Structure 1
């Protein structure tokens, strides 16, 4: 990995998430009545500043992708508010949110599944302009060619179809499609997890270059902590629908507070050629599996797997508090 996150130029808050919840009803019985709720996102709050990359990490089922979709209003929140660029988009109706769509985009994990195989690259990239702008056909073509070149694809390949490209090239097409409307904010949902390591580095470098060139702000969702470390300015750790720790990446990777974060960091594979004098941290093994978000444990949801859990953890939910300057953690060990 050669990519390295740069500090955001501004400190203006672009996205503000306040006490957001997303519950899915569980139906049962002959009448299909609601008998419970799956708590995919459970009372999450944070800000994203203009020009920064906020990474979100956690196991599968922690609610990362659901949170991203709720932020873009691809799903409606059950509770809470979402402010984008000063506007409470969580209070807007579907038709009212449309003018904001061009400024909020998403890059999905699987580019082949997210791209219509029956459309050419030119059609795929120009489609958002056709829907959201009044540009002429010539103007749409000019902008498409410009963004195709920016993402490192050949202009002459724009008449080809997705199946004619490699995985890394298809992801570049997805990135071009997301950026064609010149958005301010982009959610990257596991954008490199399906790619080879060598291709991952190329795509990550491309995303950083595009961020600097176009003034983008990213929410980068991933399960690979080494990838998140290189591209993010700050990192939030999610567990069972809640943020358990959030801080700048240097503090998180050098001095993690939450036992879950510590366990995740010790699970990162390290290639040791016997030349390093720095002792490797002892790997923390978590017992049990991730509990069901339909029936989360009482108190601290991590207590059933935590090696440091005590009586208070089972009866009282820890709040996300600021332990150090900008370093927030939700754990009774620090309260």
Structure 2
């Protein structure tokens, strides 16, 4: 058993919760073509050897800068993209090597909510047609039963039964995202990937949609993998948080631990930029950390630790050796040479 698999096993035993999804050494590389013959001259490492588990009923938040690989990871887990390497085990079944036809029965239990509700909804279809479409694809249900399910789901997300006859352009951004949520949940999935579902909404609407998603999670027994770049959004909805940088997890812990005791320099820098409103219930105000430079090119990552080009604590070992994600304290995992 590898060290990473041992960590996952210990994690399962500690939480004593069923694992709904397990990722083992997931990689997703995209070929880089060049020359007259368009031959492969390199690889863009969007997701680079990630292992973790998602527990039934929890919300695992994934946070990181644009280009860190968050959305690619989400699509790989749903098999919307095929992994380059690694295993995806959903409900004890390895779906990573299944054909598109064989993975289809799992689609009803695994759904995704996209960032832009207007782009993800066909403007030529009515709301009823949009929401009932998954039922037509996956199940042979009579029309009246489909309509009942659509109306019930619309009411669950805070819309009216009469709204089913309208079209996407007749709704506000927040309402369109409610429609996207209804479409994703109509098949009663167990696991939902939320890919920046509120980032395109006004701040005043974000909290309403997040509260709705939390209520639906409680009512329907959902498990979320919630992807975002906004740390305040992640804090509001997540139970555990994974911080992602250049295709890798650099820190993984409970929400409380991440926000009160961040260990990785990248996590510390991200959190230093978040305003502290309630001083009594938060850790002392942190000095703002300004990271130098931009996220490195995933097609040409730095040697050793990927964060070393921006890290204020870099030393010789960081240049030559890539740190593993290890348990520094109970249920708190960090990939940094400062702690090993």
- With structure 2 as the length reference, what TM-score do the two structures score? 0.94
Pick from 15, 19, 22: which aligns with 2:25?
A: 19
Partner residue in 1 for 2:298: 293
Alpha-carbon shift at residue 137 of structure 1 (Å): 0.9
Alpha-carbon shift at residue 269 of structure 1 (Å): 3.1
Residue 306 (structure 1) aligned with residue 306 (structure 2): no
What are the superposed Cα offsets for residues 116-159 of structure 1, whole Å, 9 maximum, x if unpaired?
A: 00000000000000000011111111111110100000111110
Residue 60 (structure 1) aligned with residue 74 (structure 2): no
Pick from 310, 316, 319: which aligns with 2:321?
A: 316
CA contact (8 A) 2:251 2:264 kept: yes
Pick from 20, 28, 31: which aligns with 2:37?
A: 31
Secondary structure of 2:96's counterpart equals helix
Alpha-carbon shift at residue 32 of structure 1 (Å): 0.5
Alpha-carbon shift at residue 305 of structure 1 (Å): 0.2
The alignment of Structure 1 onto Structure 2 pairs a total of residues equal to 326
Aligned partners of 1:37 and 1:142: how far apart in 2?
49
Aligned partners of 1:277 and 1:193: how far apart in 2?
25
Secondary structure of 1:25's counterpart equals strand
Change beyond 3 A, Cα 1:277–1:177: closer
Pick from 222, 225, 235: which aligns with 1:229?
A: 235
Secondary structure of 1:105's counterpart equals strand
CA contact (8 A) 1:246 1:327 kept: yes
Secondary structure of 2:184's counterpart equals helix
Aligned partners of 1:150 and 1:54: how far apart in 2?
23
Q: Which runs of 5+ in 1 are unaligned?
A: 1-8
Secondary structure of 2:21's counterpart equals strand
Aligned partners of 1:279 and 1:190: how far apart in 2?
29
Secondary structure of 1:102's counterpart equals helix
Aligned partners of 2:24 and 2:131: how far apart in 1?
33
- With structure 1 as the length reference, what TM-score do the two structures score? 0.95
What are the superposed Cα offsets for residues 55-78 of structure 1, whole Å, 9 maximum, x if unpaired?
A: 000000000000000000000000
Q: Which runs of 5+ in 2 are unaligned?
A: 1-14
Change beyond 3 A, Cα 1:178–1:277: closer
Partner residue in 1 for 2:207: 201
Change beyond 3 A, Cα 1:319–1:170: same
Aligned partners of 1:262 and 1:49: how far apart in 2?
26
Pick from 89, 112, 117: which aligns with 2:95?
A: 89
Aligned partners of 2:334 and 2:284: how far apart in 1?
26
Aligned partners of 1:98 and 1:278: how far apart in 2?
46
Q: CA RMSD in A?
A: 1.6
CA contact (8 A) 2:302 2:309 kept: yes
Pick from 41, 48, 63: which aligns with 1:42?
A: 48
Change beyond 3 A, Cα 1:278–1:57: closer
Residue 192 (structure 1) aligned with residue 186 (structure 2): no
Partner residue in 2 for 1:109: 115
Partner residue in 2 for 1:4: none
Residue 280 (structure 1) aligned with residue 285 (structure 2): yes
Change beyond 3 A, Cα 1:278–1:58: closer
Change beyond 3 A, Cα 1:186–1:245: same
